[in-house]
Structure 1
């Protein structure tokens, strides 16, 4: 089963209102990172890793060519480095997130990303129940709390209309 790490931005304090910004990074081999490394790095916005990858590949290819190494050996070295990038792609993504002031919240084991999200949020909401000020769960039907501080009276409500009835039809059977 794949292992996912869950990351959240530091500035949002990882509360229930910021759950749409959580990121799940799958650990393991990334096939497209090995096959199309430059495109994969650019697609995931790993700019420093992309620059480092291009410079590393250029330096190794140039150095091996200057040493008189054959093209087949240079291709084999490039394939080994591509496989290495495929295995380390998730680590590069986590490194980029940590540089961008994200923090790792949890590690989840699941079959796919949707199952990982479900498992994480089930555990996370159970752990944070009662600790988070969830404004949606407050009963808004009651009157606001009052205070009895001398010198700080509440404002008085507006007076009722003359009939004491509020609405479109103030008198039963009256004109409309």
Structure 2
């Protein structure tokens, strides 16, 4: 077999392989209007959102934080929420803010429920980008606690 034929065969074989899954998957709430009610459990772009333990149902809230950044996200009650990722991820970024109460703990959990990362979001009326990183096992879920009825998640991205 000639070198040219071998290269052509290799290129054809590579072209036939299935495309890789996206390395980054994100979701947000921009498609929803202000005060739009959300279910206590729902899926959005393969992310599963769940109210942690009942209480009032989450809804979409649209306003600006104290430094003028847009807030257009899911407002959750003090019990917080769980976000199950579309797949195991090495890094997760949340656009999140706390507008009342004490700091808001954000935990990155692996499939066994182990904590891979933990951040405390200040309750300072400003939207933040919170980055959580896997230490020893991929992250499969993010758990947010607190917020004193005024925690808002604008969006989330999971990086494989």
For Structure 1 versus Structure 2, the TM-score category normalised by the shorter chain is under 0.3
Pick the structure with more helix per residue: 1
Q: Radius of gyration: which is bigger?
A: 1
Pick the structure with more strand per residue: 2
TM-score, normalised by the number of residues in structure 2: 0.23
TM-score, normalised by the number of residues in structure 1: 0.21
Higher relative contact order (CA 8 A, sep 6+): 1
